[in-house]
Structure 1
Amino acid sequence: MHFKKILGLAAVAASAILLASCGNNSSKSSSKANDTLTFWYGGDADTAVKPIANEFTKKTGVKVKIQSIPWSQYNDKLLTAAASKTGPDVLVVGTTQMPNFVGSKTLMDITDTVKSDSSIAPDKFFTGSENTTKFNGKYYGLPWYVETRVLYYRKDLLKSVGYNQAPKTWDELYDAATKLSKRGKNMYGFNVDGAEPTFGFMFARQNGATLLKNDKPQFNKKAMVDSLEYLNKFTKNGASPKQDTKLSIGQSFGGNGPVPMFISGPWMMSSIKNDAGLKDSQWGVAELPKGKVSNMSSTGGGDLAVFNYTKNKKNAIKFVKFMSKKENQLKYYKNSDSMPTLKAAWQDESLSDSRIQVFRKQLNNSEPMPLIKQWDQIGQNYLKAWEQIALNNADVQKTMDTFNTQTEELINK
């Protein structure tokens, strides 16, 4: 603040000086507040995020205060922050949580930013990831890291039953699993995952199912019922365990491989390398076997978003864009094994491993689960329905009729 006129009266001059002094203190205080961002991160940020945030501070002078929050507490903490309108400036949001946080007005609409900056244009990211940030034509985040599911398999054991490569179709998967299960007691061929909410829905999509149509569930339609009948064949004939074996990855996939094929995400790579005691030549990953229509997988991961009630919007957006840059997504991958969502980043040498590139190929055929706020509860209800089918031999059609009605009621609440 400055003055162009000299005031004649001393009292007025003194008053003006006092006001100017107050104004400068306020400006400094405001400036100091704007030089610090708060970033909420699900998990431990020390290794994964802090080094990148420190680079942002060096470049911009804006400090980043990172708060690591366990994922188990993240949802409740954010909803509380939204209700009180006090929270972080920037946050990471799991892709399945996006509908809840958009609906609760926790996240800022950044559509103008996305449309005005070609470096973060939607087509730069995998379609499945980009879809998790867009609601009713508006953008509420930038894709940051991505994961999808592929088939893990024991090359040596599959070869012993006549398969020199991973099964490429549903028929081959069932045939190979059945043959592998004949090796002896407590030996299986494939794990039908009864603890993963997306598992049955993923197979249903491969069979041509539309999970929701105009927000109406389609879980009792033929395409989904047939896909669950297919999966149930594995448990009925002993090609898959009926429930969790409680074995470690070293016990189930290593050694003589009681469960030599399963579907999971990239986090299992390091577990197998560290705990299974296998040679590289003994195991591999492959794109999912194709069903009647596709080999569609499920897209997960995390997005970066700006808290709707931040008082530091300019720097918050600057930080989100910085973290989304190719070089920083690659740094984050090297620090955390969380795969980048920018397609261009996958040309980097650090992602050249043939197993990692399988995930890259699968991402071309991968979509998130339906982006509605009730989806997490729907997934948990599905697991209970599948348990009735796998353990109690419940009729698939009747079970899915009940599940479909239950879902309708949940959506219409």
Structure 2
Amino acid sequence: MRFLALCTALVAATALTGCGGLSGSGSDTQKVTLWLMKGSASDDFVRKFTASFEKEHPGIDLEVRIQEWTGIGAKVNAVLNGTGKESADVIEVGNTQVAQYIETGGLSELTLEGLRTWGAKDWLKGLADPGSINGAQYGIPWYAANRVVIYHKDLFAAAGIKELPRNRQEWITATQKLDKGDQQGIYLAGQNWYVLSGFVWDEGGELAVETGGLWVGTLDSEPALAGMEFYKKLQALGDGPKDADEETPPQAEVFARGQVAQIIAPPGQAAQIEQLNPALKGKLGFFPIPGKTTGTYGSVLTGGSDLIIPERTRNRAAAVDVITALVSEKWQTELARTMSYVPNKTTLAPVVQGDDGAAAMAQGAAQGRATPKSARWAEVEAKNPIKPYMTAVLTGQDPKQAARAASDTLGKVLSSDR
């Protein structure tokens, strides 16, 4: 941070990317730039991490720049291909974005560092898989978040439910008891495809697969249809709209009215619910989405971030040091506890045991998955044929026919550049 003003002036004067290694500068300090996304880490975390890192690496001046999510793809690509005015040595990216950056090119391969130094064997699958291609690792898992069941403790007690459900059948049975009168057993919007994805994976299905160099949608496979059938059964135990997603209306607002027993959401929504209805403070609990059998948790769509290093960096060794610190047990623990995240390794799950929501997330995260590893997936979400498919099934249309139509669209979008 100490030489930021000097560095900015030098960049303007010389069009160089950093102070480190400037010819004739007379300084032994190497500037390293880390891009973090807005909201990923608190200001206090950034301050403490920067001070600690610079103390342990006296030759490095670490500059942390906070980036907005809107428009970040173009900015990252500009760094990777060298066309931008800004540069970075380490960049935080969404885990499902890594595939598009791998396709663009310009990422530094980090396979050996992952295996030798960063504990790759224990990484969460939902963070690690999107960051690799053909066995080469480019995105390094940093933190994860996923959905859990948020439940109303008083409504569970009133229904005589003393133990939380341990498998799908117990979950359905409990939800049936909770669904009575004006009370909803669960509020599940008809187009919550994030939740559906987990049910599809639990049945052994996929959203799409790559075969022969082309992507094929597989929502019409028997396992995927079984996942949709379970979704339909669960969704019927409440009054969620069949033709809208979880933000239309926002499910936190619906839950806050006090007559919903459960929603499936990131645990952070509990704070929103309590803010909307302070009377619910202390009355909300969490449990992982139950799996098909007792002792297993349901699959979940893993969100979160990976860390990448541009090939163009002049400071690769120092960039590796930054990642080494960020993924260390010390800073993984600090980040997880500060932000209620899931750490990047299954072995670090116990560090969030004091946070009920994060602990439930960590249990489910072991079964975390990511969306298909395609650079076109963002285009799928923009058009999202999965949503109208779900509505079609929930409103009585033929599941196989609706799934086949959605699968065709998935394949066309994902293979549009092939």
The structural deviation recorded for 1:233 is: 3.9
Normalising to structure 1: TM-score of the pair? 0.81
2:200 aligns to what? 204
Alpha-carbon deviation of 1:331? 2.0
Q: How does 1:325-404 map to 2 (within 5 A)?
A: 325-348=328-351, 351-379=353-381, 380-390=384-394, 393-404=396-407
SS in 1 for 2:88: coil
**Cα distance in structure 1, aligned partners of 2:27 and 2:413:** 47
Residue of structure 2 in register with 1:289 after alignment: 290
* Structure 2: distance between partners of 1:137 and 1:31: 40
| Preserved CA contact (<8 Å) 2:188 2:238 | no
- Measured after TM superposition, the shift of residue 388 of structure 1 is 4.0
Matched with 1:56 is 53
Unaligned 5+ segments in structure 1 are 1-24
Distance in 1 (CA, whole Å) between partners of 2:78 and 2:353 is: 38
* Corresponding residue SS for 1:370: coil
Work out whether residues 190 and 241 of structure 2, in 8 Å CA contact, stay in contact via their aligned partners in 1: no
SS state of the match for residue 278, structure 2? coil
Distance (whole Å) between structure 2 residues aligned to residue 206 and residue 30 of structure 1: 60
Query: Using the alignment, how far apart are the partners of 2:189 and 2:104 within structure 1?
Result: 32
Which residue in the other structure is 2:131 paired with?
Answer: 133
Give the whole-Å Cα distance in 2 for the aligned partners of 1:115 and 1:268. 35
Are the counterparts in 1 of residues 97 and 375 from structure 2 also a CA contact under 8 Å? Answer: yes
Q: For 1:39, give the aligned amino acid.
A: L
Q: Is the 8 A contact 2:107 2:311 kept in 1?
A: yes
Cα distance in 2 for residues equivalent to 1:30 and 1:366: 50
Cα distance change of structure 1 residues 393 and 237 upon mapping to structure 2, 3 Å threshold: farther
Alpha carbons of structure 1 residues 142 and 155: separation in structure 2 relative to 1, 3 Å: same
Q: Secondary structure at the match of 1:262?
A: strand
- Structure 1 residue 396: deviation in Å? 2.2
- Residues 52, 169 of structure 1: CA spacing in aligned structure 2 closer, same or farther, 3 A cutoff? same
CA drift at 1:103: 1.3
Alignment deviations for residues 115-152 of structure 1 (CA, whole Å, 9 cap, x no partner): 332xx121243343332332211111321111222211
Moved more, 79-88 or 203-212: 79-88
Partner of 2:167: 169
- 1:12 is aligned to none
Cα distance in structure 2, aligned partners of 1:298 and 1:152 = 16
Return the letter of the residue paired with 1:298. Answer: L
Q: Secondary structure at the match of 1:29?
A: coil
1:158 to 156, 159, 173: 156
Q: Is the 8 A contact 2:186 2:237 kept in 1?
A: no
Call closer, same or farther: CA 1:195–1:89 in 2, change over 3 Å.
farther
Are 1:206 and 1:294, in contact at CA under 8 Å, matched by a contact in 2?
no
> Could you give the per-residue CA deviations for residues 321-372 of structure 1, whole angstroms, max 9, x where no partner exists?
1111111112223443333213444444x64344432222222222223222
* Deviation for aligned residue 1:284: 1.4
Match of 2:181 among 180, 183, 202: 183
Q: Which runs of 5+ in 2 are unaligned?
A: 1-20
What does residue 142 of structure 1 align with?
Answer: 140
Structure number, greater radius of gyration: 1
Give the 3 Å change call, closer, same or farther, for CA 38–26 of structure 1 in structure 2. closer
- 2:362 counterpart letter in structure 1: R
Number of aligned pairs? 380
Q: Contact conserved, 2:159 with 2:177, CA < 8 A, in 1?
A: yes
d(CA) in 2 for partners of 1:281, 1:335: 20
- What amino acid does structure 2 have at the position aligned with 1:54? A
Write out the 4+ residue segments of structure 1 that deviate beyond 6 Å after TM superposition.
none
TM-score using structure 2 length: 0.80
Contact 1:299 1:368 survives alignment (8 Å): yes
**TM superposition shift of 1:191:** 2.6
- Over 3 Å counting, the alpha-carbon distance change for 1:27 and 1:358 in structure 2 is same
Counterpart among 252, 267, 270 of residue 254 in structure 2: 252
Q: Which AA in structure 1 matches 2:398?
A: D
Contact 1:193 1:199 in 2 (8 A): no
Alignment match, 2:13: none
Alpha-carbon distance, 1:264 to partner: 1.6
Structure 1 vs Structure 2: percent identity of aligned residues? 19
Q: Give the helix-richer structure, 1 or 2.
A: 1
What is the deviation of 1:174? 3.4
How far is 1:279 from its partner?
5.9
TM-align CA RMSD: 2.9
Q: For the structure 1 residues 222 and 307, does the alpha-carbon distance in structure 2 shift closer, same or farther, using more than 3 Å as the test?
A: same
| Counterpart mapping for 1:58-137 below 5 A | 58-61=55-58, 62-86=60-84, 87-117=87-117, 120-137=118-135
SS at match of 1:198: helix
Match for 1:370: what amino acid? P
> 1:408 is paired with a residue of what secondary structure?
helix
